[in-house]
Amino acid sequence: MNISEDLKQKAIKLNLCKEWTDGWQDPDLDSMCEMFVTGQDFCIKNDYPSTEYIKANFGDVAKNHGIFTDSKISIENPDVAILLGKTTGDITLSGYVSRDIYVRHDSEVHITIKDSAKSFIRVFNNAKVTVDNQSDGRVFVYKYTDGFNGKIYTGGDVLIREKTFKDL
């Protein structure tokens, strides 16, 4: 069984909706990474696929789509950033960008927001996040309280809102 079919079968067992099941086709690794980014709600709720699976089957292809697993990062203005496993490092957003950042598992990241950048940061599990807002605007951090044992540190105008998986 190829990676696509394997992931599809695992997702169906996790109650993947009919629309996604019917539209699955036979995507390549890049397309599956885009599906992962688009389907974050399902993936987060089901912790799917596992970090081990992503590392073993996607490698640098995942990183090219902003998906980092057990990595050391230092990135600026990523289109999206999804930090999994024990990813550590720094993210800087500057200029006129608006970005989504997901920090999961045991990841630790320092996020700096500058200029007119905006960010919507979602924090889960045991993640540790430091947000330094140096911009004129407000930065939003969504702390998902289901099983949350992590820490959030802030500087500047940062609004933290508590949510649950039901809100995904």
4-53 pLDDT, tens per residue? 999 999 999 999 999 999 999 999 999 999 999 999 999 999 999 999 99
Domain shared by 15 and 71, yes or no: no
pLDDT at 125 over 80: yes
Domain shared by 84 and 145, yes or no: yes
Q: How many CB atoms lie within 10 A of CB 157?
A: 13
Domain shared by 18 and 98, yes or no: no
The count of domains in the chain is 2
Q: Is residue 128 part of a domain?
A: yes
pTM of the model: 0.96
What's the pLDDT score for residue 168?
86
Q: Which percentage of the chain shows pLDDT scores above 90?
A: 95
Instruction: Write the DSSP symbol of residue 167.
Output: G
pLDDT at 130 over 90: yes
What's the pLDDT score for residue 136?
85
Domain shared by 105 and 139, yes or no: yes
Q: Which two tokens stand for residue 38?
A: 């688009």
pLDDT at 137 over 90: no
Q: What is the pLDDT of residues 70-94, one digit of tens each?
A: 999 999 999 999 999 999 999 999 9
Domain shared by 48 and 93, yes or no: no
Backbone angles phi, psi at 101, to 5 degrees: -130, 130
Q: Which domain holds residue 41?
A: 1-55
Q: Is residue 60 part of a domain?
A: no
Q: Is residue 17 part of a domain?
A: yes
Strand-strand pairing, 128-133 and 88-93: unpaired
* Residue 165 CB burial class (10 angstroms; 0-12, 13-18, ≥19): middle
pLDDT at 1 over 80: no
Confidence grade of residue 161 (pLDDT, cut at 50, 70, 90): very high
Average pLDDT over the chain reads 96
Domain shared by 6 and 78, yes or no: no
What's the pLDDT score for residue 30?
97
Q: Tell me the mean pLDDT in the region 156-161.
A: 96
Domain shared by 116 and 138, yes or no: yes
Domain shared by 84 and 116, yes or no: yes
Domain shared by 47 and 125, yes or no: no
